[in-house]
Each structure stands twice: as C-alpha cells, then as structure tokens.
Structure 1
C-alpha cells in the first residue's frame, strides 16, 4: 500500500503541481515581482551578482555583463569566454531596441581544401577543426562602451573573487561536468582546469578556477585588447598550432562584433523581436506568422489539433532555416520575405490538418547555452544569450587560461553552393537567440530559452502560451512543451520520414494517441526542452515580473 501511494504521488508531482493554491496546476511557483530591478539567470549566484551591481548603482547592461562573467565560472558546461554572444538591449533614454551580434569568424588559414583532403563531409564535433574566434569578450566591451556605467574592473571583480575562493557546485552542473568529461576529458588542460583530485567535482563540492581568475584580471585591467591582441591571444594561437588547429593570433586580432537592427513580426498585436541571421531567431517569427492564421485558443492547448498545427508550422520554418540562414556578409538572405505575412499564408497552404508531413521543401525567393535578462529602475532591459556550443565546447583548453574554446564551426556545411558553406573568415550559422517583445512601441518583455534547435520552437510556444492561452510569465515557462526533431539542418542533412515529436509530461494520452493517428512519430526525450528566463514590465503598476526555468538551476530575483 505504501509503495502504491508513493508511486502515484511521484507520478502526479512529475506531471503537475496539483498542490498549487493559485494559477495553472503545472506552474512551479508564482512570478517574482519587484519595483527597482530584476535579474533572471540560470544560476542563483549569477543572479545575486547582477542584483549587487544594480543595488550599487549599475544599470541593466552592467549587471548583465557581470552575470555573464559569473556564469562562465559557475556554469562552464554551457558558456564562457571561449564562446560567442548575442544581445538585444532596450535603451530607456532613446526608447529604442539595439541588437548586438558578437559571434566570431572561422580561421583565415583553414579552407575547404583541407576538409576535402581529409575526406570529411562534416566538420567534427570536437578537437581543433570546429573552433572559431570567441566573440563574447568583445561583446562585453561593445555593450559596456555604448550603454554601461561601471568599469569592467568592477563588473568582473565578483567573478574573480569566486574563481579564487571557490563556490559549491549545484547538482545539475555536477551532472554536466561528468557528461562533458566523457566527451572532452582526454584533451590537454581538462584535468588541470575542471577536476578536483583528478575527478569532476560533485554536488556541494567547492570548485575553484584560479586560471580563469587570472584571465579575468587581465581583461579587467587590459581591456578587450588584452584578450584579442595581448598574451591571451598569443597563448590561444600557440596552443591551437600545437593541437593541429588553425585559429591564430591574427584571427583573434582581426575580430570585431557588429551592432545590427533587430527584426520583428506582429503577433496578435504584440511585436516579437529577434536578431537577423547568422542566427536562427527569425524561425520563431516564421512559426508565429503561420500560427496566427489559426484559432489556437479555440483548439485548446492539450489537443492533437494544436500540437499538430504547431509541429507542421515548425517544419516549414526549419526547412527555410536550413537553406537560407547563414552569414549575411556572404549571402543575400531574404529576411523580409521570409518573415512576411504574405509568405506565411503561402506556406500555410502546405499544412494538412489531418496528416503529418513526411517531407517539406524550403520556400523559394523570387548547437548548450546560457540565457539571462536584467532590467533596472530607469527602464533599461537587456536580453542576452551566450554559449560554447555542445556543452563545454570543442575540448580545446588553451594553456592556463581557465576556459574552453567553442566548437561553433561544426555548424558550417561542407556542401558546395550551400548558404552556410564553410569559408575562411565567415561566421557560422548560430542557434543562440535572444528575444524581446514590445507593444505600442513600449518595452514589454525580455526573454529567451536556451537549448540549440529547441530555441525558436520554445520562443514561439512562450508567446502562444501567454497571448493565446492566457498564461502568466512563470506559467508560460513551466507549461509542458512540444519539441519536434529531425528537420533539415544548416549542415546540409535532410529531414527523413517527418522527424519525431517529443511531448513533456502534462499532455494527455488522448492527445498523444490522436497525434499518432495523424502520422506523427512520438519519442520520449529527457533534458532537451530548453531553459527559460524572462522579465516582463507592467507599465500600469510600474513593476517588473520575473520568471525562471524550473528545468534548470535558474533564479529570478528583484528588489
């Protein structure tokens, strides 16, 4: 009897939080509400660092940089200064959105000929070949110079202190450390940097990274050139040469980030903003444009009709993603065409209400991550995402620097004529995307959902959850999610047999059964549904609402 009661209880809790007094039964907690400032990150220590910066007179952009630096220490399994960065900033003074693309380019000395000589039809996941220039540090300085109010010394100080003195590891990050050791643990520098007594640190164990503290100190005192033109860049170049890689000092010294114009589509009266390619943000807009043509509220969220419609819209967007999304410096990418309402109406005609598509073609024009968001008392808001790709990245850990170089170059295609075909000095297709929502030209919501190709699907679901299904900020993130996998990829792989659909617990058996009748293949997956953080501004009451991912270690907090 005891075992039976326990089993029922555990199943109920895993699917729904039935003991909730208010709100949706699946919600894990209430939203956080505060007047003066709000921060939502994937690690509580990073959130606290952000709040400390705000309380000490810094603005949202200052706090985001400090939090990102902290996340590079406490969550190196998803981010760090060996990776890239993207951000959308709402500047309260100019009342305008600004986009930052701080992604790095491929090595100038690595050409397609090398891959052909090696007989490769794909770029390897790990090792020296997928390494591209890390853009995050330059992104910090671009943000700081344009919008910041505090010095980089002050913003990096908390992370330097924690890196030297150590911090207790959370259960989830300890798990990811162990997983990453299986992938890259044999590469030089992993044991010295990321193990304690030759083992990956366990939950509650104090982890230190003095090498990263030294690197942060050099950046804090020497500026961005200390990273891209100083000893750090020389160390990276020499290490990569030793490992048979191509990333050089010259590649580091030539790096630059770019301010870009965010792009948007209006969804039922709300302007949803993303960054243009080389990222995948406009896929979320393409999905929403198709979904806007349906009465989703009438369908109901736990219905085969809604899930089917969502999945089919996603398939259409992701075929365009595979064909068109790439570095705009190398291609004329038809962004306006792809996110137009007219194009969505044409694409919608391809969706059968009764049958899952086994294959769709792209239209014709005539990748683990962290996400954080911060808002301040002046009304500034920032949506920032940063990543190594594939957890800890390439496995290339430059000598005594304390971080891993990204493997984002894996996303290049090796097919001649592909928009995302590899070329020297080119930015690869990117999965990491920040998002923002405005209404009547006023800031409403800053949000993101980390997790590779999951991201545009979840961006669209968050918007639909709130606008069509009336959920609040926390409920929208806690609601059970839909994930379609198996579409064509920017590396040139084709979707086969329609891919498969994964549903989190909370969708009924009836919905699952009806989806299978429509021809969908259902497959259970674990840990693939992303990680959500969000801040919403309530202009009527002049307060911020914060929400954080229940599937990760995140924390939303304000004051």
Structure 2
C-alpha cells in the first residue's frame, strides 16, 4: 500500500488508564498530572490549555478563544461549547469607514479593531463547571501552569522559531508591555528558560475569582486600556457581557462513522462537507496520496471552502443553512461538479436550498472513556501582539476574519462572532455510539483539511494514529488577489504526483520542507481501541492508542 512509502519513525503510544496528546511535552505532562490526581478529561484539557498559554504564547492563550467537544462515556452523548468572543458593541462598518477602512482597505492585521472579546477563560470555566469531575478546584487545575510560569521552563525548538518570527509584534510602538514576553527585548532561544510571573498572577486571579477575575476588575481594565490606547473601542461592558454558548455539535456519517464538529461560526462544517463529497468517490481504490486521490481531495476541499467562506457566520445574527449544507443530496450534487481530469479555479458557493495560523490543538481521554477534544487560539501567532499591563498574555486578532462587504453573511457588525478557523473533532461508531477517536489538526484554514486527511488515513488506509499524523499532507489555499486556488505539497509526496497534478491544471508548489511545514498544521489523535486496523471492531477498546504530530514540539503520554 502507498502509505508504507513514507517512514513513520515514532510508534503510537498505548495505555489504558488515561492519555493526553498536545503540541508541548510539558503541557502534556500537566494534563497527565491532573488525570492522576482524580480529574477527568475536561479538567485535564483545561490544565493543558493553561500550560500551553505559558509554553506557547506565540500560538495560544487567555487573550484568545476556545472550542470544546466532550464525549460522555456513560451516555455516549457528544456535547459542545463555543468559547469564541464577539466584536465590541461600538464597532461598526460606519466607524471603520470614518477612519478610512473598507472592504478594499481593511484594518491591518495587528490593529486593535481586530480584537474580539477573548472567550477562552469563560470557555475553560464553563467546561469545568458543566463537564468536569468536580474532584478538583480551578486552582488545582491551573496549578501546573502557574508553576511553569513562576519557576520558568526551557523553550522548545519549534516554539522558539515561531516566537522569533513574530517577536516584532511585541516590540512594536504602542505596545509598552510587549517586553513582558521577551528576554532582554528578544525572543527566547531554544532551551533558554523563560519566566512569566504576570501570567501566573492572571491565573491566580482566575483561580480565586473565576470568570469575574478576568472579565471584571484589574485584568479587564488592563485589556480595555491597551486597546483604547491603540485606537480600539472595546469597553468594560463588552467584557462583562461575554458568555460561552452551549451548542449542539454537527455531525455527518462517513461509511458507518459519525464525525462530529462544532457548528458555525466555526469552520468544522468545511470538513464535514468535504467528507460528504469524498464519499461519492472510491478514495481507497485510488490509493493514498496518488495524483487521482489528491485531485479528488483537493477538489472536494475547494468546493467545501467555497460554501463555508460564504455561509459560515454567526448563527445568532444570520441564518446559516447547516442542515441543507450537510445533506447527502447536496453533497452528491456538488460532487458532480468535480472534473476528474481538470482542476477548478473559481470560488463559487452552491445553493443548498435547491436540494432537500496559528493555534494549539490537544486531546484527552480519561480512564472512564470520557474524551475532550479542545482547541485554543490567538489566531495569527501572538494575535495583535498587544499585551495588557501586568497580565502576561497577548490579545487575539480574530476580528480580521470578518468580511467588510455589507451583504456578506459574515460581515462585521456589533456584538457578532466572526468566521472562526479553530475546530476540535470527535468520531464515534454510528451503530453503537462508542468513541472511536478524539482528534484535531491546528493551523488556520489547514484545520478542516487536516481533519479529513488524518481521518481518511485511518478509515480508508488502516494507518495507526501516529502514521496518520506522520503522513505527508496537502494544503489548499485560495489567493484572493490572484483569484485562483493554490496547492502546496509537503516533502514526501513524490515528484511525479506533482507533475500529474500540474497537468490537470493545479497551481502546485512543492516540496514544502523545514519550518515551512507548519502550514500543514500540527495534530493530535487518541483512539479507543485499534479499530483502524480491525474494520472498526471495538474488541480491544480498553486500550488507548495515541499519536502526536512531528511538526510540533509535543508528544502523547499515557499511564
């Protein structure tokens, strides 16, 4: 089989009593400690989120947003939390126009206008309250991260690279506290010890006062001050009024497997659309990462993104036709648009009514079989890079994802959530409801593309979780200025495949190597049992199997 043509150098982790997989080994350890202390999957996930804020501030933190899927082993139900924040009440298209910004000239990515209310802290607290074990306090859950921040930790190699790449946003004028995330004005080197006492203080405030310790009081005032000093309009009421939303996850059935995602405003629907379209082709027969296989995959992703870029928006503000988009008949119609020999270059969304950057992803499965699929993000690296005084974290730039076209469903409006790239995922057996895996791939618009690729690696080609993550990937991007789709192939995909794709009209760049491989995301997978090699037979379901992406600094650990 083609999947054997690449070398998977790391064995999957196997264990029975609990497992954690994240992009940073110290964060993975933090989650494992919480499991061993009596916490469940959600408690451990929040501990990992906090530890990643300390160890990967160039990707994630309490200045950003989060999404969570929770699988309850007793009820076999999947629940969801939308921890994304809304735009300030005073931020309007009219205000932007007054300051010279419009669809053709949007605010720069680092502008304070792009800061939506950070939803991560409320998401953490609400996840623990709703789904946590009740055995541990928030202070106990945050303690590993507090210790990392106070005592310091050695910075990992890939994190150091990204910290250096984006250090300029911390050094920018108008960001006097950016130096709090630097050492002597510079990003830390690989192996250099970094301390963040201000973030430790923020976590202690959260442990003492819960959500109020962030959305009201000292921290909230510091957030508002740095934003308003840089031209932003967020105020204390915007922060105080923030609330997490419990959501019903969306799902599609792919050949007997239910795949679960967070509904819009998250882009998880993109992955489900692509799966539905792919189901109309014999992907396994085409063989893994061949030109035929990648062509169908690429075209399915283009079609899915074309729909998501238009329809994915805040359902509290506009009507999102989720049911219609996920219907099998709609997918069948969309699949018929795919030419088996020619690439598509247009970006045209369908009509579902005619038929009936940088992020962290991590996952935990506990000894009772509960699973938490969790993602937390600043959006672009450090986000805006703006650091509130005495707080030790940066503020996201998620608002950059809004459209400024007045007729677009995702158009900027007051108190609205933007199109969101971060998406956790789960898979369960459609007949029994048993957990198959908790998985995700971080990385902006790569996330749904990573979801479908690693899932098909297991479902169609029998790869174990580590092999599924190790396998070379494809990334599809629509370049708006050029008006065309571009395809990037990771090192490890044969040259002749690239040549065949070019012959079909794809604009291909390859091979992508070194740190540039970050464009293909960084994933984590924990499966319950080895169903991927047993035809989804759960006879060995007591054993957890896990993999961690080699494109990151992390690992999977179990006990």
Please report the TM-score for the alignment, with normalisation by the length of structure 1: 0.93
Does the residue aligned with 1:98 lie in a helix, a strand or coil? strand
- Cα pair 2:62 2:393 within 8 Å, conserved: yes
Q: 2:131 aligns with which of 147, 163, 166?
A: 147
Does the residue aligned with 1:388 lie in a helix, a strand or coil? strand
- Equivalence for 2:535: none
For residues 105-130 of structure 1, give each alpha carbon's deviation from its aligned partner in whole angstroms, at most 9, with x where no partner exists.
00011111111112222232002110
- Equivalence for 1:213: 200
Counterparts of 1:165 and 1:379 in 2: how far apart (Å)? Answer: 33
- Equivalence for 2:400: 410
Counterparts of 2:500 and 2:204 in 1: how far apart (Å)? Answer: 58
Counterparts of 1:189 and 1:551 in 2: how far apart (Å)? Answer: 33
Report the alpha carbon displacement of residue 360 of structure 1 after superposing the two structures with TM: 4.1
- Cα pair 2:170 2:181 within 8 Å, conserved: no
Question: Aligned-pair RMSD on alpha carbons?
Answer: 1.5
Report the alpha carbon displacement of residue 463 of structure 1 after superposing the two structures with TM: 1.4
Work out whether 1:356 is the aligned partner of 2:340.
no
Report the alpha carbon displacement of residue 494 of structure 1 after superposing the two structures with TM: 7.4
- Equivalence for 1:113: 94
Structure 2: runs of 5+ lacking an equivalent: 530-537
For residues 396-442 of structure 1, give each alpha carbon's deviation from its aligned partner in whole angstroms, at most 9, with x where no partner exists.
11111100011000000100110000001000110000000000211
- Cα pair 2:299 2:344 within 8 Å, conserved: yes
Q: 1:125 aligns with which of 105, 109, 128?
A: 109
- Equivalence for 2:461: 469
Q: 2:428 aligns with which of 429, 433, 438?
A: 438
- Cα pair 1:38 1:374 within 8 Å, conserved: yes
For residues 493-521 of structure 1, give each alpha carbon's deviation from its aligned partner in whole angstroms, at most 9, with x where no partner exists.
47723x11111122222211111110111
Counterparts of 1:529 and 1:259 in 2: how far apart (Å)? Answer: 30
- Cα pair 1:123 1:414 within 8 Å, conserved: no
Report the alpha carbon displacement of residue 319 of structure 1 after superposing the two structures with TM: 0.6
Q: 1:238 aligns with which of 225, 233, 239?
A: 225
Q: 1:537 aligns with which of 528, 534, 541?
A: 528
Would the alpha carbon gap of residues 476 and 378 (structure 1) be closer, same or farther in structure 2, given more than 3 Å must change? same
- Cα pair 1:127 1:395 within 8 Å, conserved: no
Report the alpha carbon displacement of residue 191 of structure 1 after superposing the two structures with TM: 4.4
Structure 1: runs of 5+ lacking an equivalent: 1-15, 18-22, 488-492
- Equivalence for 1:33: 14
- Cα pair 1:388 1:406 within 8 Å, conserved: yes
- Equivalence for 2:533: none
- Cα pair 1:209 1:402 within 8 Å, conserved: yes
Does the residue aligned with 2:468 lie in a helix, a strand or coil? helix
Counterparts of 1:135 and 1:481 in 2: how far apart (Å)? Answer: 31
Counterparts of 2:107 and 2:435 in 1: how far apart (Å)? Answer: 40
Does the residue aligned with 1:437 lie in a helix, a strand or coil? strand
Does the residue aligned with 2:352 lie in a helix, a strand or coil? coil
The within-5 A match list for 1:264-279 is 264-279=251-266
Q: 2:501 aligns with which of 515, 518, 542?
A: 515
Runs of 4+ in 1 over 6 A off after TM superposition: none
Work out whether 1:168 is the aligned partner of 2:154.
yes
- Cα pair 2:330 2:352 within 8 Å, conserved: no
